[in-house]
Chains A and B, each alone.
Chain A
Amino acid sequence: MGLALGGQRVLVVEDEAVLGMLIEDVLELAGATVVGPATRLPQALAMASNEPLDLAVLDVNLHGEMVFPVARALRERNVRFIFATGYSDALGHPEFNGVPVLVKPYTGSALVEALAVLLLADPAIDS
């Protein structure tokens, strides 16, 4: 069996630098190429709009700003993504009801698995 995320370009948006490093390690071990980590909204938005991407992990709260504009930019390009958040309840954002949410602290394998599931789901969306 190949690497779970082999060959995938994954955008990482995370404002805590240490967590960003951890996510980077985990994703690279799973075969992915990491874009970022972006720690601020403008930077994340630029990457989400311009970089070639397959998947994304979005921290919901970036230094007090919500990541949703980045999510919209990704959706526009049919790039699938998951949210990661320190808040224990749901996002409370109807626009992103179907998006998987990882609640911090999560394990590396939970992250890889959540992204791998996105790859399996509905490949038609990429075409």
Chain B
Amino acid sequence: MDTSTPDTPPGAAAIGQREFREIADFAPVMIWRSGLDSLCDWFNKPWLEFTGRTLEQELGLGWAEGVHPDDHDRCVDLYSRAFEAREPFSMEYRLRRFDGEYRWLLDNGSPFQRDGEFAGFFGSCVDISFHHDAERRQQLLIDELNHRVRNTLAIVQGIARQTFDGVGGEAPGLFSDRIQALARAHALLTDAHWQPVDLREMVALITAPWGDASRLLHEGPAVMLPSTTAVLLALALQELCTNSVRFGALSVPDGQVRLTWRCDGGRFELRWSEAGAPPAPATGHRGFGTRLLERAVPAELRGEARLAFTQTGLEWHLLAPLPRVRG
């Protein structure tokens, strides 16, 4: 069998070496290599041009001197662990540029083999400061927006207080309580970065002002709710709480409320059940709360709900598919 390599013309080895040298030094990416002892033994030209240091200065652990003090330990630690496990890694850290400015780098490292044996690591880095700054600016904007939403709700409450000044009846208090419930739901969602929130947390937050566990018991498994559903359910529960405090089980010393829910084979079932409530006031008025509980919440959850006055007090029963959480 012919073992020569007819595809490779004479002198190819020398050309190949030169071309590899060119790739290493002119590709717009910073490259490093470490040996079996995990110490770096080579850096390409773009790396050295970036740091403005000599190869000798960077060798061994010299490169780590340029890593930002806040990132240094994490960076060295992650590298050591990946090296020991001989597993690829990807990390971000700040490295000092020749002009003294720290730039964010994305460093991808990977083990390499020589003659079939593990021989060390190669790594390549790119400057991702631009993306990092954009992300930071975005986070600042989101924080600012959340702050403004809270502020705006507080302002709405202030305006309402001024507007209702001298107006008797329950309306001013009810309005204020509703805005409060909305603000609390928003705060919970803000903390969760508008990702789905746990129903247990939301219930605890909304019911807290209206009674402790001896009066207002709530119990159920974790159920993740998308943000829109969570806000709506918070408003609906708020209506149940205030109604109970005004007319229902929580308006008398011995009354009790049980708020329970369960998930069963893709179904979600929630029940608000009052005991020991005084007889329901005769009212044909279908107010905000009734509409939320009978129509808006079941429509949002694509389920059904029933609101009924029993001998012991108000009952609200919600049956729906388990809320779907995107992504």
A residues sitting closer than 8 Å to B (CB atoms) are 15-18, 20-21, 39, 63
Residues of chain A lying within 8 A (CB to CB) of residue B228: 15-16, 63
Given contacts A18-B235, A39-B299, 17 further A-B contacts (CB under 8 A): A15-B228, A16-B228, A17-B232, A17-B292, A17-B297, A17-B299, A17-B300, A18-B292, A18-B296, A20-B296, A21-B288, A21-B291, A21-B292, A21-B295, A21-B296, A39-B300, A63-B228
Chain A to chain B contacts (Cβ below 8 Å), 19 pairs: A15-B228, A16-B228, A17-B232, A17-B296, A17-B297, A17-B299, A17-B300, A18-B232, A18-B235, A18-B296, A20-B296, A21-B288, A21-B291, A21-B292, A21-B295, A21-B296, A39-B299, A39-B300, A63-B228
Q: Which B residue sits closest to A63, measured CB to CB?
A: B228
With A and B bound together, what is the CA distance between A50 and B217 in angstroms?
45
Residues of chain A lying within 8 A (CB to CB) of residue B295: 21
B191 to chain A, nearest CB (A): 21
With A and B bound together, what is the CA distance between A63 and B228 in angstroms?
8
With A and B bound together, what is the CA distance between A39 and B296 in angstroms?
10
Q: Which A residue sits closest to B302, measured CB to CB?
A: A40
- Which interface residue of A15, A17, A18, A20 has the most chain B CB atoms within 10 A? A17
Interface size classification for chain B: 10 to 19
A97 to chain B, nearest CB (A): 29
Residues of chain B lying within 8 A (CB to CB) of residue A15: 228
Q: Which A residue sits closest to B227, measured CB to CB?
A: A63
B residues sitting closer than 8 Å to A (CB atoms) are 228, 232, 235, 288, 291-292, 295-297, 299-300
Q: Which A residue sits closest to B236, measured CB to CB?
A: A17
A85 to chain B, nearest CB (A): 16
A20 to chain B, nearest CB (A): 7
B42 to chain A, nearest CB (A): 49
With A and B bound together, what is the CA distance between A39 and B295 in angstroms?
12
With A and B bound together, what is the CA distance between A39 and B300 in angstroms?
7
Residues of chain A lying within 8 A (CB to CB) of residue B299: 17, 39
With A and B bound together, what is the CA distance between A105 and B115 in angstroms?
70
Q: Which A residue sits closest to B297, measured CB to CB?
A: A17
With A and B bound together, what is the CA distance between A15 and B227 in angstroms?
12
With A and B bound together, what is the CA distance between A8 and B235 in angstroms?
31
- Which interface residue of A15, A18, A39, A63 has the most chain B CB atoms within 10 A? A18
B271 to chain A, nearest CB (A): 21
B239 to chain A, nearest CB (A): 11
With A and B bound together, what is the CA distance between A63 and B232 in angstroms?
14
B230 to chain A, nearest CB (A): 12
Residues of chain A lying within 8 A (CB to CB) of residue B300: 17, 39
With A and B bound together, what is the CA distance between A17 and B229 in angstroms?
10
With A and B bound together, what is the CA distance between A120 and B292 in angstroms?
35
With A and B bound together, what is the CA distance between A21 and B288 in angstroms?
9
With A and B bound together, what is the CA distance between A94 and B238 in angstroms?
43
With A and B bound together, what is the CA distance between A39 and B231 in angstroms?
15
With A and B bound together, what is the CA distance between A18 and B296 in angstroms?
8
Q: Which B residue sits closest to A64, measured CB to CB?
A: B326
With A and B bound together, what is the CA distance between A16 and B297 in angstroms?
11
B238 to chain A, nearest CB (A): 12
With A and B bound together, what is the CA distance between A20 and B288 in angstroms?
12
With A and B bound together, what is the CA distance between A38 and B235 in angstroms?
19
With A and B bound together, what is the CA distance between A21 and B294 in angstroms?
12
With A and B bound together, what is the CA distance between A39 and B228 in angstroms?
11
A43 to chain B, nearest CB (A): 9
With A and B bound together, what is the CA distance between A54 and B288 in angstroms?
27
Residues of chain B lying within 8 A (CB to CB) of residue A20: 296
Residues of chain B lying within 8 A (CB to CB) of residue A63: 228
